[in-house]
Amino acid sequence: MFGRVKSLDAILATAEKKSLHRSLGAFQLTMLGVGAIIGTGIFVLTAEAAQKAGPGMLISFIIAGFVCAVAALCYAEMASMVPVSGSAYTYSYASMGEIVAWIVGWALILEYAIAASAVSVGWSNYFVGLVQSGLGLELPTFFTKGAFAAVGGGINLPAVVIALLVTGLLVLGTKESAMFNAVLVVIKVVALTAFVVLAVPVMKMENFEPFAPLGFGGISAAAASIFFAYVGFDAVSTAAEETKNPQRNMPIGLIGSLVICTIFYLLVASGAIGAVGAQPVFGAAGEALAAGSKELQQQCAALAGAGNVPLVCSDEALAHVLREIGYVNVGNLIGLAAFLALPSVVLMMLFGQTRIFFVMARDGLLPEGLAKVHPKFHTPHIVTMITGVFVTMAAAFFPVGQLADISNSGTLFAFMTVAIGVLILRRTAPDRHRPFRTPIVWLVGPAAILGCAYLFFNLSGYTELMFLGWAAVGLVVYFSYGRRKSHVGRGLVEVHERDTDAPPQPVAPLPGGIDLND
């Protein structure tokens, strides 16, 4: 099972031979991280977390943030030591072997592609709310909710449109995408700052009682879901091959973006809870209703008919809070900011997914044609377009909460393997240069492993079964194609010279001055 380990030297040699253009610095990486992290999790899933944990979702944010922090320290060591595209997939290949790397790469599809779909749906919710509050137009549910998302839903057209537009932007180029993303990050930070400034001063302590209406089980379930709010910092590591001075800049981008976002999340969640309350909605018999369920939708519809829309019933949580406390126009502006800024998260999720596919194809585990780089835009255009279609289909039909949980399952598995990989490489390659070393690694590494396992088993049983089914499909693909075509399995540790976008590599002169390049 742990055979076919690809050496770190071979990984670095492959990247040197057929690499992407290095154009990103520490600031751009941090902005990419903030852009990827701040998004649907805080703008939309705040309501879902409230339904699971009530005000106790503050603890959920802390739990999820802690797990991400220890995982980020492991990621930073790996990214500085192996500054190439591929993220957890590449790190697993170097530490645990090909089959584990394949499963991780396959799981990352759930993280990035499904996350991009979830954020597209979150953007759609804000778009619909903006049209309704700003223009007074009620858009038909059939065209704004997926068939599996709501009663009367059909296809989520706004989510489809944004997914396709972002795909097109990514085909055009990495640097252009990063510049576009930096502008959107500023918009998000300004919007969240405005929310904190307006909501925190009107907090009422009684809104925090009862603090945990569904007990610690509810807090744990909310932590597993709200973990999605932190997903994205690892997407920074997928840009390692396009980063200038990655040994220095990767740790800055990873840890810096996580710290910034954690502070914002705790302030925003406190403001939302304290301003309007965040108690769950219960059924007629006093039973707890599952977040995103049809029963909850029906109960919310009944409450709305009575003129009462609690936080857990809102598709645009932060805008809803500001409207409820009297800042209607500012609430609409928050909705506008989410409408403008959430595409940056879709962009980063798609960016991460295409880079994973790019490296897997470069290793021969997927058809090598997927690793072709566009001659003009210098981006992996084929795999970007294929991923865009996949993301669009999921966004068209599924609800945001369900998509987010499925994405979390792949993310948690990938994070866990990175932490295991760091510990293995500390034993098998203790002398290798590590520009960034995970502090107290024999505590941090196990904490990341146990934390990820804890959150995974607090996901819904349906989500866990989906992950196992997806992994089984991945193994079928691996044994039917990837294992036979693998470069490592065939004794090839570098990219083929015949690839049209891989320039011929010069051969070092032999002793005596004989130059074989002549």
Sign of CA dihedral 60, 273, 255, 102: positive
Residue 13 placed within a domain: no
Asked whether residue 518 is assigned to any structural domain, the reply reads no
Q: What CA–CA distance (Å, rounded) separates 230 from 38? A: 7
How far apart CA 322 and CA 314 sit, in angstroms, is 12
Q: Please state the three-class secondary structure of 203-229 as a single string.
A: CCHHHHCCCCCCHHHHHHHHHHHHHHH
Asked whether residue 466 is assigned to any structural domain, the reply reads yes
In sequence order, what are the residues at sequence separation of 6 or more whose Cβ sits closer than 8 angstroms to the Cβ of residue 357?
Answer: 366, 370, 380, 383, 386, 387
- For residues 14, 16, 21, 22, the Cα torsion angle rounded to the nearest 10 degrees is 120
| Cβ-contact 163, 392 below 8 angstroms | yes
* 516 belongs to a structural domain: no
421 backbone dihedrals φ, ψ, rounded to 5°: -60, -40
Whether 502 is covered by a domain: the verdict is: no
Torsion of CA 254, 116, 368, 90, to 10 degrees: 30
Instruction: Take residue 106 and report the two structure tokens written for it.
Output: 């396959």
Q: What is the DSSP letter of 244?
A: S
What is the full DSSP assignment across 277-317? Answer: --PPPB-TTSPBPPTT-HHHHHHHHHHHHTT---GGG-SSH
Return the pLDDT at 177. Answer: 58
Cβ-contact 114, 414 below 8 angstroms:
no
Measured CA angle at 75 (ends 53, 84), to 5 deg: 135
DSSP one-letter code for 480: I
CB 224 within 8 A of CB 404: no
CA distance 250 to 373: 23
Ramachandran assignment for 364, one of left (phi > 0), alpha (psi -120 to 50 degrees), beta (any other): left
- The pLDDT tens digits of the residues spanning 395-410 come to 888 887 778 888 889 8
Q: Can you tell me the distance from the alpha carbon of 169 to that of 183, in angstroms, rounded to the nearest whole number?
A: 15
**CATH number reported for the structural domain that contains residue 42 in this entry:** 1.20.1740.10
Amino acid sitting at position 19: S
Residue 14 lies in a domain: no
Residues 6 or more apart whose CB falls under 8 angstroms from that of 63 comprise 219, 220, 223, 455
Return the closest-CA partner of residue 212 out of 263, 164, 265, 279.
Answer: 279
Q: How many domains does the chain have?
A: 1
Tokens 């409820």 label which residue? 324
Do residues 367 and 123 touch, judged by C-beta distance below 8 A?
Answer: no
- CA 82/CA 210 separation, integer angstroms: 48
What would the two tokens of residue 136 be? Answer: 């007074």
220 three-state secondary structure: helix
How far lies 507's CA from each of 20, 310, 498, 504, 517, in Å?
A: 22, 69, 16, 9, 6
Contacts of 259 (CB under 8 A, 6+ apart): none
d(CA 303, CA 236): 42
In a domain, 306, yes or no: yes
Q: Please give the helix or strand (H or E) that residue 360 lies within, else none.
A: helix 328-362
How would you label 262-292 residue by residue, b for 16+ Cβ within 10 Å and e otherwise? bebbebbbbbbbbbbbbbbbeeeeeebbebb
Q: Could you list the residue range(s) of the whole structural domain that residue 238 is in?
A: 25-485
Buried b (16+ CB within 10 A) or exposed e, 132-168: ebeeeeebeeeebbbeebbeebbebbbbbbbbbebbe
User: Does an H or E element contain 24, and which?
Assistant: none
3-state secondary structure of 514: strand
Residue 97's identity, in one-letter code, is: G
Collapsed DSSP state (helix, strand, coil) of residue 43: helix
Burial 359-369, CB ≥16 within 10 A → b, else e: bbbbbbbbebe
C-beta of residue 162 within 8 angstroms of C-beta of residue 329: no
Task: Report the sign of the C-alpha dihedral through residues 271, 275, 276, 281, in that order.
Answer: positive
Helical segments of 82-139, H only: 87-95, 98-130
In-domain check, residue 331: yes
Q: Is the peptide bond before 399 cis (omega within 30 degrees of 0)?
A: no
Determine the length of the chain: 518
pLDDT < 50 stretches in the chain: 1, 495-518
